[in-house]
Amino acid sequence: MENTGIYKHIQRSNRNLLAVNICLVLSVIAIAGMSRRYLYNFFFGPFPIDNQTLLSNTTPDSRLQYFVKIRGSESLNTGVQEVEREVSKSTGETKSETVKAHYLALVIEQKLLLVKTPNANDSKEFTGALITLPNDAREKIVNEAEAEFPALRGVFLPLMLDATNFRNSGYIGLGIGIPLFLLGVWNLFKVVKRKENIENHPIMEDLKRFGSPNDVAFKIDSELQIAGNKSTIGPAQITPSWILRSHFFGLEILNLNDIVWIYKNVTTHYKYFIPVGKTYAVVIYNRQGRLLEIPCKEQEVTSIIEQVITYVPWVIAGYSQELQEVWQKNFSQMIEFVDMKRQEISN
C-alpha cells in the first residue's frame, strides 16, 4: 500500500491538512498574544482608579489596567457629538444621520476629563478605556473651549475615557477566534488519527465503495503505472477504468463504468451587469447520483470528455434542459438508457 499512488495522495493530503491547521492555531495564538493587554482588561476589568492615580497619569497607553471605572463630582455636556451620516452618491445630499457618541466633561477635583459615551446623561461614574486624548477631540473640543473660555486653559487632562462598548470587539474576536482555534486543534487530532491508522483517511473510506480499499488502491496504481495507459489533463488523471481529481485536502475517485452523464459547464461572470469572463468545468454524474465537478481550462474540458468517451462510449454526453429535468425527476431512466446502449455496443 505504501508504494501506491493512492498512498502518496494520502500523505499529501495529511501534510497539507497538518500545515494549514498548524498555521491556523499559531495565527490565533499570535493574535491573542498581540492582544494580551486588551484580553487582560476584557476578562478582569474594569479596574477602579483613584483620582490621584488618574491625575498623575500622562501615558495611559503604557498602563496595563486601562479598562477602568472612574467617578467624578460632576459631568458637563460639551454639546459635541459624533455623527454618522449616510450621503447620497448621486446628489451628495445627507439621507440620514445617526448620533454614535456624545462627549462629556467629567469634573475630577479641579480638572476635566473628556468622556466619550453612547448616551448623554448627568452620570458621575463611567466605565471605559482610558486613552491618550485624540488629536481630533483636542482640536474640536479642548482647543475651541480654551479659545472661548481662557480660564479653561490647562484644565483638561491629556486623557480621554472611551466609554463606548469596550467589550464589543472582544466578543466578536472571541466569537471568531475560539471556533477557529478549536477547528485547528480538531483537524490536528484528525491528522494524528489518520497517521496512526490509514484506514481512517477519507480517501480510504471512499475506496470502500469499490471493494477492499487496499485491493482497489493497487488496481488503480497498476493502471497508473502502465506506460501510455494514463492521461493527465489539467487536474484530472484518467485511466481505462478510473478518473482521479486531486484537490488540496484529498482525492476524488470515480470509476468510469459508473458514469451516466458527462458535459461541459460554462459559467459567465458579470461585473455591474457586464460580462468579464468565463470559467469552465467538466460535470460528471454517476449511477449512485454523485456529482464530480472538475474546474479546468476550456480545451482541457473538451479533452477530458473526449478521453472518457473513448473508454466508455455509452455514456450520455452533452447538456440540455430536458436531460437536467429527467435527471432531477427520475435519473434511473438515464441509467437504464446507458445500460441499454452499453449492451448494444458490447454486442
Q: How many domains does the chain have?
A: 2
Look at residue 122 in the predicted model and tell me its pLDDT: 79
- What is the pLDDT averaged over residues 93-103? 82
Residue 334 is assigned to a structural domain of this protein: yes
Claim to verify: residue 230 and residue 337 sit in the same structural domain = yes
Does residue 236 share a domain with residue 151? no
**Segment of 133-147, 167-181, 197-211, 246-260 carrying the highest mean pLDDT:** 167-181
Beta strands 156-162; 111-117: pairing state: parallel
Distance CA 5, CA 221 (A): 6
Q: Please name the residues in contact with 336: beta carbons below 8 A apart, sequence gap of 6 or more.
A: none
Domain boundary among 150, 165, 180: 165
117-133 per-position pLDDT tens digit: 988 787 889 999 999 98
pLDDT digits 0-9 by tens, 189-201: 999 999 888 888 8
pLDDT for 4 beyond 70: no
pLDDT at 228: 63
Query: Is 193 inside any structural domain?
Result: no
* Mean pLDDT for all residues in the chain: 88
| Structural domain contains residue 75 | yes
Q: Look at residues 165, 186, 216 and tell me which one is the last residue of a structural domain.
A: 165
Q: Which CATH number is 303's domain given? A: 2.30.29.30
Which of 149, 165, 181 is at the close of a domain?
A: 165
For residue 229, which of 310, 346, 317, 285 has the smallest C-alpha distance?
310
Do residues 161 and 230 share a domain? no
Q: Do residues 241 and 339 share a domain?
A: yes
Given a cut of 60, whether residue 254 has pLDDT beyond it is yes
Distance CA 192, CA 21 (A): 12
Residue 97, pLDDT score:
80
Per-residue pLDDT at 6 exceeds 60? yes
Whether 7 is in a domain gets the answer no
- The pLDDT value given to residue 225: 79
95 in a structural domain: yes
* Rounded Cα gap, residues 321 and 174, in angstroms: 47
One-letter amino acid of 227: A
Whether pLDDT at 2 is above 60: no
**What range does the domain containing 71 cover?**
47-165
pTM across the whole model: 0.76
Residues 132, 51, single domain; the answer is: yes
Q: Is the dihedral of CA 230, 234, 235, 236 positive or negative?
A: negative
Q: Are 133 and 86 in contact (CB under 8 A)?
A: no
Per-residue model confidence (pLDDT) at position 100: 86
Residue 267 maps to a domain: yes
Q: What does the pLDDT average to over 335-346?
A: 88
Does residue 73 surpass a pLDDT of 80? yes
CA dist 320 and 159 (Å) reads 70
How much is the pLDDT for 326?
87
Confidence at residue 344, expressed as pLDDT on a 0 to 100 scale: 85
What is the distance between the alpha carbons of residues 47 and 41, in angstroms, rounded to a whole number? 8
Percent of the chain with pLDDT over 70: 97
pLDDT digits (tens, 9 = 90+) for 273-296: 888 889 999 999 998 888 888 998
90 occurs within a structural domain:
yes
pLDDT 10s digits, 201-210: 888 888 888 8
Cβ atoms 294, 245 nearer than 8 A: yes
Task: List, for residues 10-37, the tens digit of each pLDDT value.
Answer: 898 999 999 999 999 999 999 999 999 9
In order of 160, 171, 174, 210, the CA distances from 167 in angstroms are: 17, 6, 10, 54
Q: Is residue 234 part of a domain?
A: yes
Q: Is the pLDDT of residue 317 over 70?
A: yes
At residue 3, the pLDDT reads 59
Highest mean pLDDT among 26-30, 111-115, 251-255, 324-328: 26-30
Give the per-residue pLDDT at 197.
Answer: 86
Mean pLDDT of 240-249: 88
